[in-house]
Structure 1
Amino acid sequence: MTTAQPAHRPLNRDDLRTLTLSALGGALEFYDFVIYVFFAAVIGTLFFPPDMPDWLRLLQTFGIFAAGYLARPLGGIIIAHFGDKLGRKKMFTLSIFLMAVPTLAIGLMPTYASIGIAAPLLLLLFRVMQGAAIGGEVPGAWVFVAEHAPANRTGVAVGTLTAGLTAGILLGSLVATAINTRYSPEDVAGYAWRIPFILGGVFGFFAVYLRRFLEETPIFKELHAQRAIADELPLKATLRNHIGAVVVSMLLTWVLSAAIVVVILFTPTYLQKVQHIVPALALQANSLATLALTLGCIVFGAAADRFGARATMIVGFIGLLASSYHFYTGLPGDAGNLLFSYGLTGFFVGAIATVPFVAVRAFPAAVRFTGLSFSYNVAYAIFGGLTPMLLTLWLQKDPLAPGHYVAALAVLGIALAFVPLAGRKTTSPAAKLAGESA
């Protein structure tokens, strides 16, 4: 029989190897999922009728982007179900394979000029496939690294993993910046937009290879050895016994989605279309903000280990509230102010590292993957998927719509810090295994 790891110990070499491989694989998969948004304007031109109004084309382009989010719950629930039944590692590897295939397909598919209405329909299909894959990847990655790490390093573990995911966004931003800098707008529209998607397919298959070197989590091994794996559907047990954890995790995910979808993914297009900032500068600023976000995830994850979730959430989300309003109200401004204020906002977006810190600990081991995946993906499908379309419509009346939205959700994040489930300190999932899985 395997034994649970000690609750409090330093990160050892195996922990660091697991974190590195998991974060790198997550970065490559998240790149595949988000590269679409960096070329939304070009994709809208190529995959929809040329006589369509610009605002409607952008709305439909983000509608297909949203379809990827709407597909997340189904893919996440199915992958998580087997993750709680068959093991974390198998599903962790499968999800990244399911992402690589449609990403490569998008890079190779014909446009509206070649196949008409079939082009946006195929684009929709491939985005749905990507959404199903990412639905299993993100919660699976958080569970995987949290169950490998000791209790006193859970924040560092999920913070590092989240930093890896955001590094995938940074990679997408850097590739988009390079494409828009290296090629003329005509070349980008003609063929260069395909390069990032083809690269994404290659990245994805490389990440599948990397995950062959990971080991199953000690907690799942313990569950299997004790025959403590749930006999009934994990989702049924989650909704019956842990509804409070589900609600809090969904609300925290709403905060996370506002920070990521609006500040990092939606804003580059907003800067270009609404604030009329040239694409190269907009993407450079976004790259800086995403780099700051990656650093912020590690900082706020480590702070959660040191000071607890409540204090870290309060400081982090107050910082997000103040910095985001300063950023959006100061636009367009000059290049220096844009880079500084966007970068500062990106750093405080890193407070989202507290979300998995709380959510992973909210569910017992036997249903942890399912509980987190259901809560995260359903909430992200609703809030993350619909937010770009909501903001596109809201912007018709108020150019500060993104700033208002992020500020409101930052206030929600501060409020959630005072919910007992979010603020409490818990012992390690490994240390509590016997009691949780009984």
Structure 2
Amino acid sequence: MSSLSNRKVVVLSGIGAVLEFYDFCLYMVFSKEISATFFSGIESELIKSIFTVIIFSIAYLIRPFAGMILGSIGDVIGRKKLFTFTIMLMGICSFLMGVLPGYETLGLTATVLFVTLRILQGVALGGELPAAYVIVYESVQKNFGAAFGLLFTFVTFGFLFSDLVSYVFGAIFGDYAWRMSFIFGGVLAFFGYYVRLNLHETPQFLNLQKKDKVPFLILFNKYSLRVVAATCLSIVIAFGGVMLTLYMHDFVGRLIDLPSSEISFILAPSLLALSIATYVFGYRADKIGLRKTYAIACVLLLILALPCFYIIANIKTPLAVIFGTSILTILFGMYVSVALYFICDLFPTDVRLSGVGLSYNLAFALVGGLAPLTSHSVGMVSGQAYLGFGAVALVCALLGLLGLFLYSKHLNKLYKSKII
């Protein structure tokens, strides 16, 4: 496959990922407005805040099951068919969230319906990103760092896109900005669906001689250690995707009393730095080695996480937030693109999407389900907001290094490969 074809696969996969991740990110961008609309029946602000975090986490807790089931379906019917289904599901949920009446109109029914739609968004994302990664892995023959770097640059632009749209819509629509943002995302998803129709099924899947009807049973019977390794590799990605991008809105909002749209504007530079760093370091990793790039990034995260969160939490100015978050997101960009290669490389074609879907989403469930509550609790008990975030960062970085060790030990033949 030519370099032009490689780029086309990445771009077509990435455009849909931007739109789908934009839809998913809106919950934390507008967490205050959503809480006021759908959880207004809760009088205690503390309980309302905790409930908002729990709803945030629910969408992640459902993802391992979604990733395993949708991944198995994708290993049977193909990557492209699954890919087109997930973006439509995400778009429909986003649109319905935007037009759903609030608690004052429907009472508890509004709350239940909103939570249901949020869970379905988690299902969609559980199949979306693993499918994108596997499609790129199975379609590209070389320069994996640059390919995955470009793909995740599109994904990270989904973060940035949600922040920029919320800021612009905040200026235009005021109190209705959150609803218009969700509706806009639903409309864009239909565009993403048609973009994905131009994708072709991957060569490796088409050449697969035998497709098992229940791939996840083979996954557990033969490749359980690989699932562990891939989950550890994914946990450090989940830290960046959950804590540095989505939950950072809530963290900064507790430190600086500003509207959601203005907090989004403050965080936009760090997301731009992430988008640039992801591609730059992915491209450089092809020259200096994927394992080396990943290891350096995890070690730097161990060293710099606490100082960066200390600056953000104690100086409490927009400039401090931009400085601290930008350093951390650059490190995120450094390790994420190369980690995606390792995760896909751990599994054979017949169970690859099942393995990636389960491992990647299990990591996000653990981090998304536990890290925000852990960070919040440690910060409240210690009286130091940065300690909770810092402790989560250190644990995730160590698990990421463990994943690299298991990958290298389990696949000794890859020591001979020039690309790593």
- Common fold by TM > 0.5: yes
Structure 1 residues 265 and 238: alpha-carbon distance in aligned structure 2, compared to 1, 3 A threshold: same
CA contact (8 A) 2:270 2:326 kept: yes
Give 1:55's match in structure 2, choosing from 34, 46, 49. 46
Q: Does 1:418 align with 2:405?
A: yes
**Partner Cα separation in structure 1 for residue 24 and residue 203 of structure 2:** 29
Give per-residue Cα distances to partners, 1:346-368, cap 9 Å, x unaligned: 11111222221111000011111
**Partner Cα separation in structure 2 for residue 176 and residue 212 of structure 1:** 29
Shift of 1:69: 1.3
Q: Does 1:290 align with 2:271?
A: yes
Structure 1 residues 367 and 405: alpha-carbon distance in aligned structure 2, compared to 1, 3 A threshold: same
**Partner Cα separation in structure 2 for residue 413 and residue 72 of structure 1:** 20
Residue segments in structure 1 that go unaligned for 5+ positions in a row: 6-10, 430-438
Give 2:292's match in structure 1, choosing from 311, 315, 340. 311
Shift of 1:119: 1.4
Residues 128-139 of structure 1: pairs in structure 2 closer than 5 A: 128-139=119-130
Q: Read off the aligned partner of 1:388 and give its amino acid letter.
A: P
Residues 1-80 of structure 1: pairs in structure 2 closer than 5 A: 11-50=2-41, 52-80=43-71
Give 1:330's match in structure 2, choosing from 302, 307, 311. 311
Q: Does 1:209 align with 2:205?
A: no
CA contact (8 A) 1:249 1:355 kept: no
Question: Which piece of structure 1 moves more, 19-28 or 71-80?
Answer: 71-80
Q: Read off the aligned partner of 2:252 and give its amino acid letter.
A: L
2:385 partner SS? coil
CA contact (8 A) 1:139 1:372 kept: yes
CA contact (8 A) 1:301 1:357 kept: no
Shift of 1:50: 4.8
User: What corresponds to 2:343 in structure 1?
Assistant: 359
Q: Does 1:171 align with 2:193?
A: no
CA contact (8 A) 2:148 2:282 kept: yes
1:414 partner SS? helix
2:362 partner SS? helix
User: What corresponds to 1:371 in structure 2?
Assistant: 355
Q: Does 1:385 align with 2:375?
A: no
User: What corresponds to 1:194 in structure 2?
Assistant: 179
Structure 1 residues 201 and 232: alpha-carbon distance in aligned structure 2, compared to 1, 3 A threshold: closer
CA contact (8 A) 2:27 2:56 kept: yes
Q: Does 1:236 align with 2:222?
A: no
1:193 partner SS? helix
Give per-residue Cα distances to partners, 1:269-298, cap 9 Å, x unaligned: 211113446645532231111111112222
Would you say how many aligned residue pairs link Structure 1 and Structure 2? 410
**Partner Cα separation in structure 2 for residue 393 and residue 179 of structure 1:** 33
Shift of 1:177: 2.4
CA contact (8 A) 1:301 1:354 kept: yes
**Partner Cα separation in structure 1 for residue 220 and residue 339 of structure 2:** 20
**Partner Cα separation in structure 1 for residue 295 and residue 279 of structure 2:** 17
CA contact (8 A) 2:7 2:147 kept: no
Q: Does 1:346 align with 2:329?
A: yes
User: What corresponds to 1:117 in structure 2?
Assistant: 108
Shift of 1:181: 4.5
User: What corresponds to 1:435 in structure 2?
Assistant: none
Give 1:97's match in structure 2, choosing from 64, 68, 88. 88
Shift of 1:208: 0.3
Structure 1 residues 123 and 425: alpha-carbon distance in aligned structure 2, compared to 1, 3 A threshold: farther
**Partner Cα separation in structure 1 for residue 206 and residue 411 of structure 2:** 29
Percent identity of the aligned residues? 30
CA contact (8 A) 2:274 2:332 kept: yes
Question: Which piece of structure 1 moves more, 384-393 or 52-61?
Answer: 384-393
Whichever structure has more helix as a proportion of its residues is 2
Q: Read off the aligned partner of 1:253 and give its amino acid letter.
A: S
Question: Which piece of structure 1 moves more, 137-146 or 402-411?
Answer: 402-411
**Partner Cα separation in structure 1 for residue 22 and residue 58 of structure 2:** 17
Shift of 1:337: 3.4
**Partner Cα separation in structure 2 for residue 321 and residue 287 of structure 1:** 24
Structure 1 residues 38 and 221: alpha-carbon distance in aligned structure 2, compared to 1, 3 A threshold: same
Structure 1 residues 96 and 308: alpha-carbon distance in aligned structure 2, compared to 1, 3 A threshold: same
Shift of 1:394: 2.7
Greater than 4 Å deviation, 4+ residue runs: 277-281, 421-425
CA contact (8 A) 1:271 1:277 kept: no
**Partner Cα separation in structure 2 for residue 32 and residue 333 of structure 1:** 29
Q: Read off the aligned partner of 1:327 and give its amino acid letter.
A: C
Q: Read off the aligned partner of 2:186 and give its amino acid letter.
A: G
Q: Read off the aligned partner of 2:296 and give its amino acid letter.
A: V
CA contact (8 A) 2:242 2:367 kept: no
Residue segments in structure 2 that go unaligned for 5+ positions in a row: none
**Partner Cα separation in structure 1 for residue 102 and residue 170 of structure 2:** 20
Give per-residue Cα distances to partners, 1:391-413, cap 9 Å, x unaligned: 23333223111122113322332
**Partner Cα separation in structure 1 for residue 46 and residue 100 of structure 2:** 24
